[in-house]
Structure 1
Amino acid sequence: MTTYAEIVLRAISVYLFMIIAIRLFGKKELAQLSVIDLVFILLISNAVQNAMVGPDNSLQGGLIAAGALFITNFILKKIIGRYDSVGKLIQGEPVMLIYKGKVQERNLKITGFTHAELEAAIREHGVEKIENIDLAMLEVDGNISVLTDDFRTRTHKKRIHKTLNNPNATT
């Protein structure tokens, strides 16, 4: 019979393996889930279940594995919050995909995004053309943030409007 200490070690090992695997296979997997990705995640979770608890199918074994995962996750988040270098190692850094209307081809290739996926992501932000984008970044959580000429223009107009209506306002 599997000891509870062994279940804890197995669960932590699988957890760390999954973090490394997700990190190696790219951030886009996190926020840009397709049907294929969802099925993959469900199958992976089923595949690693036995690796965590071994032959122990008891309620206690499952709860101990889950508890070990929660505690490991809590500790890892605290470490990431305290040490930027660990956060960069595990989560990576934001990647610039578009700058001043130009696709950063090298970064697009590094992240594994296709032009079609990038264009779909910018449409989700309500932007028609890549040329209208000042900056698009793939964030560490897998989301794409987009800043457009329109955003800059609106912000600039608000500052001018404030200044015209209030001569004492600072810009």
Structure 2
Amino acid sequence: MFFNGWENLFRTLIVGLLAYAVLVIFLRLSGNRTLSKMNAFDLIVTVALGSTLATILLSKQVALAEGALALGLLIFLQYAITWLSVRKRWVKKLVTGEPLMLLYRGEFLTQALHKARVTQDEVRAAIRSNGLSSVADAHAVILETDGSLSVVKESDEHDHSSLKDVRHSSP
């Protein structure tokens, strides 16, 4: 129950070292984007890679070659989807969604808050964490595709070109 023999420990050690090496090589070949947490899709791939590595390490039914193929397949699919999403807007929209404006010119966008399941208190907390003391000091608050809240400060120049891709409606 607590110890199944040296053979199992030896297998875990050898397969673990080799699977880890394979994963590192595949990740280096695929580029930095593979492990970025830019959106929910990227997070899912990262979790799937970790789960696959754990299965390779601990399951005798999964051979190292099968595990390496599974890791390679996940990395290839992530690479292919991100490659397509950079070139095809509809793929990007399908995979990552779009940022959503929750507050605009000091006014909460109630429909957007309900759709995003975000409270006004959470928006206020994001405003405070950006060093603003008033909701009126925020030009906009956006729910990004990675789940974070971005605060665009009100400025004298009123150059808010970073809001070009954000879906919103006036309050």
CA distance in 1, matches of 2:71, 2:117: 32
Q: Secondary structure at the match of 2:141?
A: strand
Query: Residues 98-117 of structure 1: matches in 2 within 5 Å?
Result: 98-117=103-122
Following superposition, the deviation at residue 55 of structure 1 comes to 7.4
Q: Which has the higher contact order (CA 8 A, sep 6+)?
A: 1
Q: Secondary structure at the match of 1:56?
A: coil
Query: Residues 54-65 of structure 1: matches in 2 within 5 Å?
Result: 56-65=61-70
What is the root-mean-square deviation in Å for CA atoms of aligned residues? 3.0
| Residues paired across the two proteins, number | 112
Q: Which stretch shifts more, 56-65 or 93-102?
A: 56-65
Which of 147, 150, 157 is the equivalent residue of 1:142?
147
CA distance in 2, matches of 1:71, 1:145: 31
Question: What is the TM-score with the length of structure 1 in the denominator?
Answer: 0.55
1:122 aligns with 2:127: yes
CA distance in 2, matches of 1:122, 1:62: 45
Query: Residues 11-50 of structure 1: matches in 2 within 5 Å?
Result: 46=51
Following superposition, the deviation at residue 92 of structure 1 comes to 1.1
Query: What are the superposed Cα offsets for residues 66-86 of structure 1, whole Å, 9 maximum, x if unpaired?
Result: 110000000000110110011
Q: Secondary structure at the match of 1:96?
A: strand
CA distance in 2, matches of 1:76, 1:126: 37
Identity %: 29
Question: What is the TM-score with the length of structure 2 in the denominator?
Answer: 0.55
Structure 1 unmatched ranges of 5 or more: 1-21, 24-29, 31-40, 157-171
Q: Secondary structure at the match of 2:150?
A: strand
CA distance in 2, matches of 1:55, 1:81: 39
CA distance in 1, matches of 2:86, 2:93: 11
Structure with greater helix share of residues: 1
